[in-house]
Amino acid sequence: MSEAIANQPLGNASAPGTTSSLLQVDSLRTVFRQGRREVKAVDGVSFSVARGETLAIVGESGSGKSVTAMSLLRLIPSPPGEIIDGDVFFDGRNLLDMTEDELRDIRGNEIAMIFQEPMTSLNPVLTVRQQLAEPMRVHHKVKEEDIEARCLDLLRQVRIPDPETRLDAYPHQFSGGMRQRVMIAMALACEPRLLIADEPTTALDVTVQAQILELLKDLTRQHGSSMILITHDLGVVARYADRINVMYAGRVVESGTALEIFEQPRHPYTLGLINSMPRLDASEKARLIPIEGQPPDLGNLPPGCPFSPRCPFAVDQCRREDPPLEPYQGQHLKACWVNVDE
Amino acid sequence: MTTETTPAAVTTRATTTPPLRERLGDNKVLGFIGRLIKQRPMGAFGAAICILLLLTGIFANVIAPEGYNHINPIDRLKPPSAEYWLGTDQLGRDLFARIVHGAQLSVIVAFAATTLSIVISAVIGITSGYFGGRFDMASQRVVDGWMCFPDLIILIVAVSVLGPGTWQVILILGLLFGISGSRIVRSSVLSVKQNIYIHAAQSMGASTLRILVMHILPNVMAPIIVLFTTRLAAVILAESGLSFLGLGIPPPAPSWGGMLSLDGRSYMFQAPWLAIVPGVALTIAVFGINMFGDALRDILDPRMKGAGSGRYVAAVRRDRPSSMRPAGGKAQ
């Protein structure tokens, strides 16, 4: 079933190393083992990120977004996790074939990550200065005597007021939004070519969310870096992403530009996500339409399309055969047997 | 006019900024002592005892220049007097000199054995806790096996193999306390390594060694410091215990435990000061170290660092029982 996805040539796929895309992920599979049970957290995911592009990965909790991101840098705790199949080409080099040392050179240097929880992703016993300097020290990017100036510069870039006095502060003296700014500054310290932001604003106030996302967008634009933005918030995606991958049960169910996904969603799940989002232009009487049911148990997927039990459009074929991710229109891909028209 | 005021403003700003930083630098040491006295007066008292013990150990030869083994047979078993402040023992040796030199011995043994034990605890605990899996399984079963034997049995066997002596005692006590202490370090590592900042450090390309030293170690420092201070006192007691049994540092070395057992017990009724004085010395030393250790743990916690926030956290802690109890009681 999932082999069908793995072998399916994608519209935007081409030979690794010769593409203009910075990152090329091919049929990535990550499983977690619990005794005899095998949870397919990422089940044959393929996508690519072009230089300077922002790709959003959208889905509910447990749809495999974060595990996909972690798998890219091989940060899956093993055991119980294991990447069992697939390729991740970064600038033509396969990250999954690299030795631990080679990969360490890439982590934080060429690909940097921002985590979900700003409250706990900074080390409480180290000063902001020590933590900001760490990626530069690890990768020997900046000379020791220039590190302080660079730290100040980074704090200014992420718009932390009065950076000179903030540099020797401890994380507990910062608010959540400020900590996330520090995390962003750390991620940008070595000017990475790809930034993976794993729900960077989930834990923050709504007012701060927009600031942080604007900042991320500005900074990636300035440096010409690509970004993978992982989120469950479609509102965030609409504004900041160039392209969108919708994930469900460990696979990509729909992929297209932000406009395509919002204007013409072609997968019932995407449609459900959009319908369950509050809109300012809807009439006051209009109610949000939730997606019924629960996400499936990844250790025990239903036969056929994993979304079929919750899908209002499901036909018999959906419950028997797993739909491959196929081009619908040009670069707009969907994994659905049914033609959903609004 | 305006041209005059602007440079003045600039220069005042330029001159006020650097001293602020210097003042902050001073505050770290002064502020620490200040906070110790203010928040933990017993800790400050304990610290004073520790410093006194340390100074006595270092300057033992200055305080009691005649040495711990200067025999004066005429003045045997003299009670405390102006000449012999703490009296003399059955060989006419000045008890004060022996206590002072005993402090030196205790300090040396305590620091050497405790440092050794902490290094062993940290290395076993951090590697075992961080790497987990089979390595953790194997090393923890070895620790289990070791801890199955009563300490005294291990000590007696080790001394009978190695023979009594100062470095043997240090080695054995260091190993004994180090292996059991590794459990405490390991359990803190297990909780620390779950934190996202450890994951973030990995995602940043930090090597395993760097993560262990820069991220794990500083976060388990609080239990390690507590371990250090409690072990310091325990080692002094253990060394005395060994010497009391005749398994520690052999006479004529002035071990407090040895003095208690050999001279103290034999002449308990003729010269009670021979037992009382080393006993009191031991008690004071252990008490002081424990008090200081507790205070150190509370104050070195980085979440309490920084002048303002430190006071805030302390205030919250003090408030907590009165404000939380009624709510907690109702919830239960």
Which of the given ranges, B2-6, B12-16, B179-183, has the highest pLDDT on average?
B179-183
Q: What is the pLDDT of residues A36-56, one digit of tens each?
A: 888 888 888 888 898 888 999
| Confidence category of residue A228, pLDDT binned at 50, 70, 90 | very high
Asked if B305 lies within 8 A of A138 by C-beta distance, the reply is: no
Average pLDDT over residues B54-66: 84
Q: What is the pLDDT of residues B28-50, one digit of tens each?
A: 677 777 777 777 888 888 888 98
Whether the predicted pLDDT of B6 surpasses 50: no
Q: Closest by alpha carbon to B198, among A75, A227, A41?
A: A75
Average pLDDT over residues A198-217: 82
Question: Rounded mean pLDDT of chain A?
Answer: 82
Q: What percent of chain B has pLDDT over 90?
A: 14
Q: What is the pLDDT of residues B293-322, one digit of tens each?
A: 888 777 766 555 443 333 333 433 443 333
| Confidence category of residue B26, pLDDT binned at 50, 70, 90 | low
Q: Closest by alpha carbon to A311, among A278, A272, A339, A341?
A: A272
Contact A117/B196 with Cβ under 8 angstroms? yes
At B303 the pLDDT is 54
Average pLDDT over residues A200-228: 84
| Confidence category of residue B121, pLDDT binned at 50, 70, 90 | very high
Q: What is the pLDDT of residues B271-299, one digit of tens each?
A: 888 888 888 988 999 899 888 888 877 77
For A115, nearest residue in chain B (alpha carbons): B200
Residue burial B229-263, b: 16+ Cβ < 10 Å; e: rest: bbbbbbbbbbbbbbbbeebbbeeebbbbbbbbbbb
CA distance B34 to chain A (A): 21
Q: Closest by alpha carbon to A335, among A272, A246, A274, A231?
A: A246
Asked if B205 lies within 8 A of A172 by C-beta distance, the reply is: no
At B174 the pLDDT is 92
CA distance A165 to chain B (A): 9
Asked if A170 lies within 8 A of B305 by C-beta distance, the reply is: yes
| Domains of chain A by residue range | 2-119+193-334
DSSP state, residue A294: -
pTM for the model stands at 0.73
At B85 the pLDDT is 76
Q: Closest by alpha carbon to B128, among B204, B234, B201, B220?
A: B220
Q: Closest by alpha carbon to B98, among B249, B270, B233?
A: B249
To the nearest 10 degrees (0 to 180), the angle between helices B2-39 and B273-300 is: 140
For A187, nearest residue in chain B (alpha carbons): B204
Identify the residue among A98, A115, A125, A140 best suited for mutation to test binding to B, counting B beta carbons within 10 A and taking the highest: A125
Q: Closest by alpha carbon to A62, among A251, A195, A216, A224?
A: A251
Q: Closest by alpha carbon to A81, among A113, A118, A39?
A: A39
d(CA B140, CA B133): 11
| Confidence category of residue B16, pLDDT binned at 50, 70, 90 | very low
At B301 the pLDDT is 61
Average pLDDT over residues A70-99: 86
Asked if B205 lies within 8 A of A108 by C-beta distance, the reply is: yes
DSSP A147-160: HHHHHHHHHHHTT-
At B123 the pLDDT is 93
Identify the residue among A123, A174, A179, A184 best suited for mutation to test binding to B, counting B beta carbons within 10 A and taking the highest: A123
At B115 the pLDDT is 93
What are the chain A neighbours of B200 within 8 Å (beta carbons)? Answer: 113, 115, 121-122, 183, 186
Which of the given ranges, A44-48, B53-57, B100-104, B112-116, has the highest pLDDT on average?
B112-116
Phi-psi region of A125 (alpha: psi -120 to 50; beta: other; left: phi over 0): alpha
- As a whole number of Å, the end-to-end CA separation of chain A is 28
At B189 the pLDDT is 92
At B15 the pLDDT is 42
At B27 the pLDDT is 61
Judged by average pLDDT, the poorest of A13-22, A121-130, A235-244, B156-165 is: A13-22
Q: What percent of chain A has pLDDT over 90?
A: 4
CA distance A172 to chain B (A): 7
From B199, B206, B305, residue closest to A138, measured CB to CB: B206
Coil, strand or helix: which one is B247? Answer: coil
- As a whole number of Å, the end-to-end CA separation of chain B is 72
Query: Quick check: ipTM above 0.85?
Result: no
Q: How many CA atoms lie within 13 A of B171 on its CB side?
A: 10
Contact B262/B255 with Cβ under 8 angstroms? no
What is the helix (H) or strand (E) element at residue A206, kind and residue range? Answer: helix A206-223
Determine phi and psi for A119, rounding to 5 degrees: -70, -25
Asked if B203 lies within 8 A of A108 by C-beta distance, the reply is: yes
Enter the CATH code of domain A2-119+193-334.
3.40.50.300
Task: Tell me, yes or no, if B142 comes closer than 8 A to chain A by beta carbon.
Answer: no
Contact A167/A147 with Cβ under 8 angstroms? no
From B133, B195, B302, residue closest to A120, measured CB to CB: B195
What are the chain A neighbours of B201 within 8 Å (beta carbons)? Answer: 123, 134
From B197, B210, B302, residue closest to A121, measured CB to CB: B197
Contact A239/A58 with Cβ under 8 angstroms? no
Determine phi and psi for B64, rounding to 5 degrees: -130, 80
Contact A178/A148 with Cβ under 8 angstroms? no
Asked if B196 lies within 8 A of A115 by C-beta distance, the reply is: yes
Residue B35: partners with Cβ closer than 8 Å, 6 or more residues away? B299, B310
Asked if A79 lies within 8 A of B204 by C-beta distance, the reply is: no
At B320 the pLDDT is 38
At B302 the pLDDT is 55
Average pLDDT over residues A116-124: 84
d(CA A336, CA B53): 79
Q: Pull the structure tokens for residue B104.
A: 């030196």
Q: What is the pLDDT of residues A15-26, one digit of tens each?
A: 444 456 888 888
Task: Determine if the peptide bond prior to B321 is cis (ω within 30°).
Answer: no
Q: Which residue blocks in B59-132 are alpha helix, DSSP H?
A: 60-63, 95-131
At B13 the pLDDT is 43
What are the chain B neighbours of A182 within 8 Å (beta carbons)? Answer: none
What are the chain B neighbours of A139 within 8 Å (beta carbons)? Answer: 205
Q: Pull the structure tokens for residue B193.
A: 């390594």
What is the helix (H) or strand (E) element at residue A208, kind and residue range? Answer: helix A206-223
Residue A236: partners with Cβ closer than 8 Å, 6 or more residues away? A56, A201, A209, A213, A229
What are the chain B neighbours of A134 within 8 Å (beta carbons)? Answer: 201, 204, 206, 214
Q: Pull the structure tokens for residue B31.
A: 């502020």
* CATH 1.10.3720.10 at B40-64+95-302, yes or no: yes
d(CA A4, CA B264): 87
For A119, nearest residue in chain B (alpha carbons): B196
At B119 the pLDDT is 94
What is the helix (H) or strand (E) element at residue B314, kind and residue range? Answer: helix B307-331
Average pLDDT over residues B261-270: 80
Whether the predicted pLDDT of B20 surpasses 60: no
Whether the predicted pLDDT of B190 surpasses 50: yes
DSSP A171-187: GGGS-HHHHHHHHHHHH
Task: Tell me, yes or no, if B133 comes closer than 8 A to chain A by beta carbon.
Answer: yes
d(CA A206, CA B201): 27
Task: Determine if the peptide bond prior to B254 is cis (ω within 30°).
Answer: no
Task: Tell me, yes or no, if B199 comes closer than 8 A to chain A by beta carbon.
Answer: yes
Asked if B200 lies within 8 A of A112 by C-beta distance, the reply is: no
At B186 the pLDDT is 92
Chain A residues with a Cβ under 8 Å from any Cβ in chain B: 73, 75, 79, 104-109, 112-113, 115-117, 120-126, 134-135, 138-139, 164, 168-170, 172-173, 183, 186
- Chains A, B: CB contacts within 8 A come to 81
From A107, A168, A172, residue closest to B203, measured CB to CB: A107
CA distance B303 to chain A (A): 7
CA distance A114 to chain B (A): 8
